[in-house]
């Protein structure tokens, strides 16, 4: 049986890069989050977008994972590990910029 194919990283939209930089994050921080997400969900399609939050007069970077094909246990473990790894590798002042969304 052939191993599952690992998907490529999605491109980083220019508005996401500009927002990250305006918030003090490095371009490497965005790539680190994408690589982390890809490692945890190797076969899932990923997308990256900027989402304004009008309730809080704020915005954040959404990493969206199309998680069809992953069971509930794998999804729960992936979410937990994503959060743990984000806090390990991203400056604490930048963690709040990122959101993981599983669809």
Domain locations along the chain: 14-102
Q: Which CATH class is domain 14-102?
A: alpha beta
For the chain, the straight-line distance linking the first and the last C-alpha, in angstroms and rounded, comes to: 28
**Count of Cβ atoms closer than 10 Å to residue 69 Cβ:** 10
Sign of the CA dihedral 7, 36, 9, 54?
positive
Q: Which residue, 92, 97, 89, is CA-closest to 40?
A: 89
Q: Is 67's pLDDT higher than 70?
A: yes
Q: Residue 4 — pLDDT band, cuts 50, 70, 90?
A: low
Average pLDDT, stretch 72-93? Answer: 93
> pTM of the entire structure?
0.86
Q: Is 79's pLDDT higher than 70?
A: yes
């Amino acid at each position: 049986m052939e191993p599952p194919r690992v998907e490529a990283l999605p491109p980083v939209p220019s508005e996401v890069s500009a927002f990250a930089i305006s918030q003090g994050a490095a371009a490497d921080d965005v790539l680190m989050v994408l690589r982390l997400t890809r490692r945890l969900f190797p076969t899932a399609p990923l997308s990256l977008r900027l989402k304004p939050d009008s309730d809080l007069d704020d915005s954040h970077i959404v990493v969206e994972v199309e998680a069809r094909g992953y069971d509930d246990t794998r999804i729960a473990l992936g979410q937990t590990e994503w959060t743990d790894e984000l806090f390990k590798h991203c400056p604490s002042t930048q963690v709040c910029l990122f959101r993981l969304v599983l669809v």
